[in-house]
Amino acid sequence: MTTVICPYCFDRAAARQLPYRCLMKAAGVHGDKPCEAERDDIWAEFMGPSVPPALRLRGPVFAAPRGLAGLCGGGSRADCPGCGVPTPVRVCRRCHSDLPSDYCDQDSRIIALVGAKASGKSTFVSVLVNELRNRVGRAYGASLAGMGSDTQRRDRELAEDLYDRLRLPDATRPAAMGFNDPLMYRLSLPRRGLLGDGSRHTALVFFDAAGEDLKSAEAMDRYTSYLGAADGIILLVDPLQLGSVRDRLPPGDGPPLPAVETPPQQIAADLAAQLRAHGRGGSRGRVSTPIAVAVTKSDALRPLLGPHSPLLRNASHAGGAWDEEDRLTVHEEMRSLMDGWDSGALYRQLERDFAKLSLFGLSALGAPPPAHAPADAPKSGPQPLRVEDPLLWLLRERGLLPVHRTGKHAREGSGA
């Protein structure tokens, strides 16, 4: 029996229990007359006050039919009892959000993307998707496709802004202004085994929390269900918001430094508290959800790095396998840098609160925005460094990627 996690409210339900939504089209078997729209107050209330009254009228929702198709997992289509027209649109039973037609048919991985305001979450996702479709996808023999019209539209708009117009994405709106839809993708990876070659399909769900919603544990409570359902967390840390880093960087003519927002140590502590409250704490109080702590804008740290730093180059992904030795080298490099920034306070906090963590350093753009246009991407366009590493590590933790280990790092360890 297939279990589906709603990517909007994160309710869990068997696929066969999910209701359907009528398409309100003609050509049915009952007089060739389409159904009329009905008020869907459950969906409108969940989406928030930004939904205008006219959009509350949507196709009628009806229960999944009983029978062999339903018992086998919900069926890919069902006939509307009102007009007789088959519909593939399944609906979450709790929030009435429409689910992409292929979302309910495969395994899913929910990735929580967390970071303070101006840490670059939207830019990170846009560049990550582009890398998964091109350089990284080629290395792993993978493909990535948007699921559902909303993700496909937003994906196209983000790519056009960033890669064609060289404009950085707008900031994520706070929860008080309405619900932020997740981005959903179908990741296909090669599967090799005794039965021959094939493909393994996974639904990737990225949910972006606005920085304003992370200023306190009370505000973050809006995302408790989302965090509790996550298979992995990517915590983005902007080093330019750390006073110790700002003091060490040489003065220059680059873009102005960002305003100092919620300290990453506080965000990490609030994350751990929310996850423990949702049953993700272990016997020793450490959270079981893997967390990838990614220091962004590593291009700005070049004056602080040695000439052979692993942060100055992308991982090779040779042979379509995850390089565990390379991951540990980056982890130790970032741990050494953090020791110099805040005497290791952030890392000690993370190590106490999370049972499985790894440190990463990345740059989504490869260079800072122009000093005269801080909302623009560099003129050369994004030239990312290691932007894929946090996600690939989380996928590796779930057994979705082959692992290449050599030498002293061949043994799997705890913590890092």
pLDDT at site 94: 94
Using 70 as the pLDDT threshold, list the residues of the chain that sit under it.
1, 27-32, 67-75, 171-180, 192-197, 209-223, 252-255, 283, 405-416
Of residues 400, 394, 401, the one with CA closest to residue 110: 394
pLDDT at site 173: 53
pLDDT at site 72: 42
> Using one digit for the tens of pLDDT, what is the confidence trace for 150-201?
889 989 998 999 999 999 887 655 554 444 678 899 999 987 665 556 788 8
pLDDT at site 409: 45
pLDDT at site 102: 80
Domain with CATH 3.40.50.300 in the chain: 107-409
Q: In whole angstroms, what separates CA 295 from the centre of its chain? A: 16
> Using one digit for the tens of pLDDT, what is the confidence trace for 379-415?
989 999 999 999 999 999 988 898 876 655 443 333 5
Superfamily of domain 107-409: P-loop containing nucleotide triphosphate hydrolases (3.40.50.300)
Q: Hey, what are 395's tokens?
A: 């996928």
Q: What is the pTM of this model?
A: 0.86
Question: Between β-strands 357-361 and 291-295, what pairing exists: parallel, antiparallel or unpaired?
Answer: parallel
Dist. CA 137–CA 3, nearest whole Å: 28
pLDDT at site 130: 96
> Using one digit for the tens of pLDDT, what is the confidence trace for 347-362?
999 999 999 999 999 9
